[in-house]
Structure 1
Amino acid sequence: MADQHDDGPDRAHRRPPGVSDATVEALGALSKALETTERARGHLYSFHQLTGTADFQLDEAVDLLRRAGHAEWADKVRAEIVGRNVVPGHWTFQIVEAYDETYHRPFTLLAREAVDRLAGGRDHLYEAELKQRRRGTDRG
């Protein structure tokens, strides 16, 4: 079986001629920032799903309050919390949509354009070169 560490970066992850160390480092920082927004976006989806789940779980709480003889509290929870917007005028999915439209999509497009124009469309050059340095020059 071949050593899994013997393979170097493929052509798509090798620095094109004329691309400086400073450019590779800058694009690496841009990529890292974009990856952080991907994580933030995932947390927004978690926020959306968890808030929706909690809202549906309130149905059981309302039912149990009513069965326990606390109809006034059941009515209060249903009237004041069930289906309530988390931000005035916005459902959770609208917050996700606004993040995508206002921040995530423009950031993604800008990062793609920067890689295309500054590095010939070759992604993750910083990471590929870092991995090669960590492996050592004798391992390909």
Structure 2
Amino acid sequence: MSGPDEAHRRPDGVTDATVSALGKLSEALEAVEVARGHLYTFHRLSGTADLTLGDAVEELRDAGHAELADRIDRDLVGRNVIPARWTFQIVEAYDDEYYSVFKELERLARDRLVEGKRHLYEAEMKEDRRTDGLPGHEATPDEVDSGG
């Protein structure tokens, strides 16, 4: 059995409980990464909406609806999405106050407990679930590149 590459092998003395805990920490970080992506999507869509709203205001004016256009322009175009903040400020606060701390502490845990190695839980799961020697079940990319 070939097994995972060195970057994904458990260091000597590391327990199943530690690998499991780091796996959960990694899973939580993955959820944060997805949430961050959705936050950036929210940022982009909100910005697009505001720019499109500006176009709608101009078209309302051109169509002879100046009073309504003025109200929308005054009350909604450029409005904060939450008190005192546009979406870029929300994204920056999330990155600075939560995301960066999460990334730092996840990295610290890996550095202290498993020599900085990533995805040990998943690598061991792969090794447990794959069929050694079967095409499509190679342990590492090197096995494919070298013909198995």
Give the alignment's TM-score, normalised by structure 1: 0.91
Q: Which residue of 2 aligns with 1:52?
A: 47
Q: Which residue of 1 aligns with 2:144?
A: none
Which AA in structure 2 matches 1:55?
D
Answering whether residue 14 of structure 2 is matched by residue 19 of structure 1, we say yes
Which SS does the other structure have where 2:80 is aligned? Answer: coil
Structure 2 residue corresponding to 1:35, chosen from 30, 34, 37: 30
Q: Which residue of 2 aligns with 1:110?
A: 105
Q: 1:122 to 1:62 in 2, by over 3 A?
A: same
Structure 2 residue corresponding to 1:91, chosen from 79, 86, 91: 86
Please give the alpha-carbon distance, in whole angstroms, between the structure 2 residues aligned to 1:67 and 1:121.
61
Which AA in structure 1 matches 2:94?
Y
Which AA in structure 2 matches 1:27?
L
Please give the alpha-carbon distance, in whole angstroms, between the structure 2 residues aligned to 1:53 and 1:30.
35
CA contact (8 A) 2:2 2:132 kept: no
1:44-79 Cα shifts (integer Å, max 9, x gaps)? 111111100100001221122112221111001100
Q: Where does the alignment leave 5 or more consecutive residues of structure 1 unmatched?
A: 1-5
Structure 2 residue corresponding to 1:71, chosen from 42, 66, 74: 66
Please give the alpha-carbon distance, in whole angstroms, between the structure 2 residues aligned to 1:118 and 1:42.
28
Q: 1:20 to 1:84 in 2, by over 3 A?
A: same
Displacement after TM superposition at 1:121 (Å): 1.1
Q: How many positions carry a matched residue from both structures?
A: 135
Which AA in structure 2 matches 1:38?
E
Q: Which residue of 2 aligns with 1:133?
A: 128
Which of 1 and 2 has higher RCO (CA within 8 Å, sep 6+)? Answer: 1
Q: Where does the alignment leave 5 or more consecutive residues of structure 2 unmatched?
A: 140-148
Give the alignment's TM-score, normalised by structure 2: 0.86
